[in-house]
Amino acid sequence: MKILIAIKQAIALDEDFEIRADGRDIEEDFFLPDLNEWDEYSLEEAMLIKERHADTPVEVVCVTIAPDSADEALRKCLAKGADRAIRVWDESMEGSDPVAIARALAAVAKKEAPDLFFAGVQSSDHAHGATGIAVAGFLGWAHSAVVARLDYTPGAKEVVLKRELEGGLSQELRLPCPAVLTIQLGINKPRYASLRGMKLAAAKPIETLAPGDIGLATNDCGESGSLARVRRMYVPEKQRAQILAGDVAAQAKALAAIIREATGS
């Protein structure tokens, strides 16, 4: 039994940063990279399945579509107990949008043939929330987004889950395997890696593949394989804030006036 997990080395920024000269991204010097927060939860969910069913061998494999700077994120997963790590990259993949990334992930999934494919609901940096479900689109597998609870016994033909909907609603679903699930924060409590885990992870190999190794043509990747591209990245103009004085009634009155003015009503 196998669980394949898409992970991403996400980028955080400090207060101070600069936009790249071409205006399409942040200068790399200001990147504070770390494993995408959602991926901590999908990995933990996979590890819980693996540990709860010690009699059925479960292989947890992490995959990322990224240059070697993302090895750190893969090693973090290995340190927490993932069995294998795969990284797919070459220069032709530069500029990939979520759909192009999903195409590559789907190609890895076809090769690995997992019973379950996990992705985070979204990444903490770009927050498209598209990659996981696009993978399901390429694979044609059953899928569910924003999974907040999961019941699965390794080897079972189906998975039972609860997913979050708008307005505080939940939906319980039963999906046939293989399935693609995007995992929501709070589904579990992610573990920390021990020092031993980190030391072992440092010695484990990371399988590196080029697009050709998973059957992708050059025009499947990068900007040529993408429908979207970043045209410009910029800091939105600062809006003015105003503190409304007086008691609640006076504040409400002032607020209503502002809304009327803004909406021209």
Partner 1 sequence: MARDPKYDILFTPVQIGPKTLRNRFYQVPHCIGAGSDKPGFQAAHRSIKAEGGWAGINTEYCSIHPESDDTHRLSARIWDKGDVHNLRAMTDHIHQFGALAGVEMWYGGAHAPCMESRATPRGPSQYASEFETLTYCREMDLSDIAMVQQYYVDAALRSRDAGFDIVYVYGAHSYLPLQFLSPYYNKRTDGYGGSFKNRARFWIETLEQVRAAVGNDCAIATRFAVDTLYGPGSVEVEEDGMRFVELADPLVDLWDVDVGDIAEWGEDAGPSRFYLQGHQVPWTRYIKQVAKKPVLGVGRYTDPEKMTEIVTKGYADIIGAARPSIADPFLPKKVEEGRVDDIRVCIGCNVCISRWEIGGPPMICTQNATAGEEYRRGWHPERFPKKGSEDSVLIVGAGPSGSECARVLMERGYTVHLYDTAEKIGGHLNSVVTLPGLGEWGYHRDYRETQIGKLVKKNKQSQVALGQKPMTAEAALTYGAEKIVIATGSSWNTDGTNCLTHDPIPGADASQPDQLTPEQVFSGKKPIGKRVVILNADTYFMAPSLAEKLASEGHEVTIVSGVHLANYMHFTLEYPNMMRRLHELHVEELGDHFCSKIEKGRLEIYNIWGDGSRRTYRGPGVFPRDANKTHRWLEFDSLILVTGRHSDDSLHRELNARQSEWEANGVKAVYLIGDAEAPRLIADATFTGHRVAREIEEANAQFPKAYKREVAIWGNPHSPGVNPEIEYES
**Is beta strand 116-120 parallel, antiparallel or unpaired with respect to 31-35?**
unpaired
232 binds partner 1 (CB under 8 A): no
Q: Of 20, 110, 174, 199, which lies in the binding site for partner 1, with binding defined by CB under 8 A?
A: 199
193 binds partner 1 (CB under 8 A): yes
Nearer to partner 1, 47 or 136 (CB): 47
249/247 Cα distance (integer angstroms): 6
72 binds partner 1 (CB under 8 A): yes
Stretch that binds partner 1, among 21-29, 97-105, 192-200, 212-220 (CB under 8 A): 192-200
Work out the angle at residue 118's Cα, subtended by the Cα atoms of residues 113 and 123, and round it to the nearest 5 degrees.
135
119/95 Cα distance (integer angstroms): 20
13 binds partner 1 (CB under 8 A): no
Specify the residue for token string 């031993």: 196
24 binds partner 1 (CB under 8 A): no
Residue 38 C-beta: closest distance to partner 1, Å: 19
197 binds partner 1 (CB under 8 A): yes
Residue 4 C-beta: closest distance to partner 1, Å: 24
Specify the residue for token string 């709070």: 186
Specify the amino acid at residue 8: K
Stretch that binds partner 1, among 37-45, 100-108, 174-182, 195-203 (CB under 8 A): 195-203
Q: Of 23, 25, 28, 32, which lies in the binding site for partner 1, with binding defined by CB under 8 A?
A: 32
Q: What's phi and psi for 177, nearest 5 deg?
A: -95, 155
236/90 Cα distance (integer angstroms): 33
Q: Of 55, 168, 196, 262, which lies in the binding site for partner 1, with binding defined by CB under 8 A?
A: 196
State which of positions 114-173 bind partner 1 (CB under 8 A). none
Q: Where are the beta strands (DSSP E) in the chain?
A: 2-6, 9-13, 31-35, 59-65, 84-88, 116-120, 142-151, 158-164, 170-176, 179-183, 207-209
List contacts with partner 1 (CB under 8 A).
16, 32, 34, 72, 76, 189, 192-199
